[in-house]
Amino acid sequence: MLKNNPVEVAVIIPTLNEEEGIAWVLSRVHKALGELGKNYHVVIVDGGSTDKTIEIAKKMNAEVIMQKGKGYGDAYIQGFNYVLKKYKPKIIIMIDADGTYDPLEIPKLIKPVESKEADMVIGNRFQQMQEKAMTIVNYVGNKVLSWLARIMLGINIKDTQSGYRAISSEVLEIVPLREKGMPLATELVVGAYIYGYKLKEEPITYRRRIGGKSKLNPLKDGYQILKTIVHLALRYNPTFFAFTLGALLLIPGLTLGAYVAYHYFFTGVKYYIKGLIAIIMTLIGFQSLLLAILSLYLKRMELRLLKLLHTRRS
């Protein structure tokens, strides 16, 4: 960091026993940001590494702070609060310590934030993925979760779990973050979208871990991320659920109604219970659809208002 100059870019790296990857990551972070001529600062949030991670990081010009709680999300929340308060940077970079993301690609992520084209730029891992960089289970899981975020919330981002990002500080000051574990990455994308910030994706290379072990538990973390998406969708954008409920009731309700009506008029058989069920399903289904349409209009209105607010502010 250049003395007496305000920090423009803060890089936050969470670490938990990453002695094999950290040096490679830090040397390339310094190279990338040094060449850009930015006044930057690197903060490592360590979750209690028992190997040489901390020692190496300190030697390589990074500030190391110890994580108070536990988990990937908790480390980032602490790191965000720390740098926002202490350094007030314009842009914050999120990157892992295991060498899966290449710091030399930082300029590509920073540029759209600097030019105000986007408030958060997310590295999309799916376009240039090294062989075996991601297990098949993780690959499919990440695709499915990103797809769910799209259909449930309307977020047009192909890799919502990517941990490589450039973010305008304002986003982190405004968006509330609670997730202590891996779902933080998703919570941050969804939150930024809901608060009307502009999101952009840039293709990045995704590499195999340099060494050490992944802390991601595909089943447990995948389920947690799914829960996060569903909770956020229910809270902020219930259109999907209201529409699904409407369709699930209305289609069979109308079919059953047609069956009952056919028999009533053409065979003379009167199905009272079936008729009643058909009416109830149709009525609830129809109301759900109306609710879905209404919530869609409200969402659109909210997005328009937020857009207006953001343009006025910038």
| β-bridge partners, 123 | 202
**Interacting positions 67-96 with Mg ion (CB under 5 A):** 96
Please give the helix or strand (H or E) that residue 44 lies within, else none. Answer: strand 40-46
Binds 187, which of Mg ion, ligand GDP, none (CB < 5 to 8 A, cut-off by type)? none
Provide the H-helix boundaries in the chain. 22-36, 53-59, 72-86, 106-114, 136-153, 169-174, 184-194, 218-236, 239-262, 272-313
Measured CA to CA, the distance from residue 261 to residue 269 in angstroms comes to 9
Query: Least distance from C-beta 166 to Mg ion, angstroms?
Result: 18
Binds 135, which of Mg ion, ligand GDP, none (CB < 5 to 8 A, cut-off by type)? none
Total of residues contacting Mg ion (CB under 5 A): 3
Site stretch for ligand GDP (CB under 6 A), options 13-21, 82-90, 169-177, 254-262? 13-21
Q: Is 105 in the site for Mg ion (CB under 5 A)?
A: no
Q: Is 18 in the site for ligand GDP (CB under 6 A)?
A: yes
**Interacting positions 134-173 with ligand GDP (CB under 6 A):** 163
Q: Is 228 in the site for ligand GDP (CB under 6 A)?
A: no
Query: Least distance from C-beta 122 to ligand GDP, angstroms?
Result: 15
- b/e 182-217 (16+ beta carbons within 10 angstroms → b): bbbbbbbbbbbbbbbbbbbbbebbbbebbebeebee
Among 98, 102, 119, 179, interactor with Mg ion by CB under 5 A: 98
Name the DSSP letter for residue 7.
Answer: -
Q: Is 100 in the site for Mg ion (CB under 5 A)?
A: yes
Measured CA to CA, the distance from residue 35 to residue 245 in angstroms comes to 54
Binds 16, which of ligand GDP, Mg ion, none (CB < 5 to 8 A, cut-off by type)? ligand GDP
Q: Which 3 state secondary structure label does DSSP give 122?
A: strand
Site stretch for ligand GDP (CB under 6 A), options 97-105, 227-235, 265-273, 288-296? 97-105
Query: Least distance from C-beta 127 to ligand GDP, angstroms?
Result: 17
Q: How many CB atoms lie within 10 A of CB 274?
A: 14
Q: Is 71 in the site for ligand GDP (CB under 6 A)?
A: yes
Q: Is 121 in the site for ligand GDP (CB under 6 A)?
A: no
Query: Least distance from C-beta 134 to ligand GDP, angstroms?
Result: 9
Q: Which 3 state secondary structure label does DSSP give 12?
A: strand
Q: Is 180 in the site for ligand GDP (CB under 6 A)?
A: no
Q: Is 77 in the site for ligand GDP (CB under 6 A)?
A: no
What DSSP letter does each residue of 57-111 carry, written as one string?
HHHTT-EEEE-SS-SHHHHHHHHHHHHHHHT--SEEEE--SSSSB-GGGHHHHHH
Measured CA to CA, the distance from residue 147 to residue 36 in angstroms comes to 35
Q: Is 103 in the site for ligand GDP (CB under 6 A)?
A: no
Q: Which residues bind ligand GDP (CB under 6 A)?
A: 14-16, 18, 45-47, 67, 70-72, 75, 96-98, 100, 163, 214-216
